[in-house]
């Protein structure tokens, strides 16, 4: 039979001794660094998990801040739009008031101009009527005074009306 298939007592002894030596050497030199590396890895995994949790919390905080900023920006936008609308309304009202005032001023100036033009036209009509009356009177007097007899009678009449003192 094959000695590997059915081990003898000496082989078993040496296998146990070898196992114990390897176990001693491993516990003395390898297990501490292996266990240390495993603990470090476990610590690194715990640190990474805590950092991931911290990052998750920071992301939630950032998201909340972003929502708050968006809300504030919307409120600010609404306020700016309201202010702009009020300013536009005020500007329109001011322009309307100025236009009304300017229109009233122009109407008053036109009224004054019409009155002045009317006075000037009346004065011109009076002057024209006076000139026309004088022209008509002159023509009538010339017609009447064409003969010498009528002229002497008129002079006599004027002299009688005039009192010389």
Q: What is the mean pLDDT of the chain?
A: 87
Is 101 inside any structural domain?
A: yes
Is 165 inside any structural domain?
A: no
pLDDT > 60? residue 165: no
Domain encompassing residue 27 = 10-118
Is 154 inside any structural domain?
A: no
- The larger pLDDT score, comparing residue 129 to residue 74, is at 74
Q: Is the dihedral of CA 85, 89, 90, 95 positive or negative?
A: positive
Predicted local confidence at residue 6, as pLDDT: 74
- Find the mean pLDDT for residues 56-61: 94
What is the DSSP secondary-structure string of 112-129?
A: HHHHHHHHHHHHHHHHHH
Is 19 inside any structural domain?
A: yes
Is 162 inside any structural domain?
A: no
Is 160 inside any structural domain?
A: no
Q: What is the 3-state secondary structure (H, E, C) of 90-108?
A: HHHHHHHHHHHHHHHHHHH
Is 18 inside any structural domain?
A: yes
pLDDT > 70? residue 35: yes
pLDDT > 80? residue 3: no
d(CA 26, CA 36) in angstroms, rounded, equals: 14
Is 146 inside any structural domain?
A: no
State if pTM tops 0.75: no
- Find the mean pLDDT for residues 47-73: 94
Over the range 61-90, which residues count as b (16 or more CB within 10 Å of their CB) and which as e? eeeeeeeeeeeeeeeeeeeeeeeeeeeeee
Predicted local confidence at residue 164, as pLDDT: 58
- Report the number of distinct structural domains present in the chain: 1
The proportion of the chain whose per-residue pLDDT surpasses 90, expressed as a percent, equals 58
CB atoms closer than 10 angstroms to residue 7: 13
d(CA 28, CA 137) in angstroms, rounded, equals: 158
């Amino acid at each position: 039979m094959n000695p590997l298939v059915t081990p003898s007592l000496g082989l078993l002894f040496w296998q146990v001794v070898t196992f114990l030596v390897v176990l001693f050497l491993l516990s003395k030199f390898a297990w501490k660094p292996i266990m240390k590396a495993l603990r470090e890895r476990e610590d690194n995994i715990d640190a990474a998990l805590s950092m991931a949790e911290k990052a998750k919390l920071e992301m939630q905080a950032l998201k909340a801040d972003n929502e708050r900023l968006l809300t504030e920006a919307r409120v600010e936008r609404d306020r700016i739009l309201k202010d702009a609308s009020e300013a536009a309304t005020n500007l329109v009202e001011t322009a309307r008031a100025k236009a009304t005032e300017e229109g009233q001023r122009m109407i008053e100036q036109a009224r004054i101009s019409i009155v002045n033009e009317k006075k000037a036209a009346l004065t011109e009509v009076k002057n024209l009527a006076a000139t026309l009356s004088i022209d008509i009177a002159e023509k009538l007097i010339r017609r009447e005074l064409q003969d010498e007899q009528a002229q002497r009678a008129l002079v006599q009449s004027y002299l009688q009306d005039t009192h010389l003192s």
